[in-house]
């Protein structure tokens, strides 16, 4: 019973913190870069090895985790097919759709694979977090600017000798990346 008490105390302490849940690993990484140094709980819904969420099924544990969340950060664009179930179950949960304003090509929701699109996603997540948790807004904005600078560095290092080369893609996920680099 001592460990139960300790677990309950830890849980109560954590529940007081603003809790952010992300749908899958790319959203977790983006959000982690934005919230670094803020006194928040950041959790990821799926295992890092899950990859894309095309066929992901919510578990009871997932629903328990979402019940503790203040914000749920999703890729959007149809990636999280289970999203309507979450919204129906938790209508007061703030959902940040990181792909808002990004053109989804041919139902290909892998928008994070484009550095340009990912920058827009970071901006969308930052805006949503600032609105939902204004006491940490300055941290979110500062971290977001730093992360976007890093992403722009990568984008600006592109090799012009690659442009125009034909490539064979084995997944639709890479279409956005190929577009970024003119392949």
- What pLDDT, in 10s, does the model give residues 120-175? 999 999 999 999 999 999 999 999 999 999 999 988 876 667 677 788 887 788 88
C-alpha dist (Å) from residue 164 to 46, 161, 170: 37, 8, 18
Q: Rounded to whole angstroms, how far apart are CA atoms 102 and 143?
A: 22
The two structure tokens encoding residue 72? 């749920």
Query: Higher model confidence: residue 76 or residue 172?
Result: 76
C-alpha dist (Å) from residue 73 to 4, 14, 62, 150: 30, 19, 14, 21
Q: Provide the 8-state DSSP code for 112.
A: G
pLDDT of residue 168: 85
Average pLDDT of span 51-76: 86
In this prediction, residue 50 has a pLDDT band, given cuts at 50, 70 and 90, of: low
Average pLDDT of span 57-78: 91
pLDDT of residue 54: 63
On the 0-12 / 13-18 / 19+ scale of CB atoms within 10 A, 62 is: middle
pTM assigned to the model: 0.85
In this prediction, residue 7 has a pLDDT band, given cuts at 50, 70 and 90, of: very low
pLDDT beyond 70 at 59: yes
Query: Can you state the angle between helices 25-35 and 137-156, rounded to 10 degrees?
Result: 120
pLDDT beyond 60 at 6: no
Q: Collapsing DSSP states into helix, strand and coil, what is residue 157? A: coil
**CA proximity to 110, closest of 154, 73, 77:** 77
Least confident segment among 15-24, 71-80, 151-160 = 151-160
Residue 90 dihedral angles phi and psi, to the nearest 5° = -125, 75
Average pLDDT of span 95-101: 96
Q: Rounded to whole angstroms, how far apart are CA atoms 86 and 99?
A: 18
pLDDT beyond 50 at 1: no
Question: What proportion of the chain, given as a percentage, has pLDDT over 90?
Answer: 54
pLDDT of residue 47: 72
Characterize 128-164 residue by residue with b for buried, 16 or more Cβ atoms within 10 angstroms of its Cβ, and e for exposed. Answer: bbbeebeebbebbeebbeebbeebeeeeeeeeeeeee
pLDDT of residue 130: 98
């Amino acid at each position: 019973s001592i460990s139960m008490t300790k677990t309950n105390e830890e849980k109560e302490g954590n529940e007081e913190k603003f809790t952010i849940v992300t749908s899958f690993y790319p959203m977790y990484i983006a959000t982690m870069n934005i919230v670094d140094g803020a006194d928040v709980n950041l959790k990821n819904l799926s295992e890092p090895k899950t990859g894309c969420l095309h066929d992901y099924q919510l578990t009871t544990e997932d629903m328990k985790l979402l019940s503790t969340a203040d914000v749920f950060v999703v890729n959007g664009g149809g990636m999280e097919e289970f999203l309507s179930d979450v919204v129906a179950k938790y209508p007061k949960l703030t959902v940040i759709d990181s792909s808002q304003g990004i053109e989804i090509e041919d139902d290909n929701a892998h928008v994070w694979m484009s550095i340009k699109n990912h920058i827009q996603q970071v901006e969308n997540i930052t805006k949503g977090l600032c609105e939902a948790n204004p006491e940490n807004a300055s941290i979110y904005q500062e971290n977001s600017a730093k992360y976007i600078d890093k992403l722009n560095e990568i984008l600006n290092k592109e090799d012009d000798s690659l442009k125009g080369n034909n490539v064979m893609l084995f997944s639709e996920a890479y279409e956005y990346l190929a577009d970024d680099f003119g392949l």
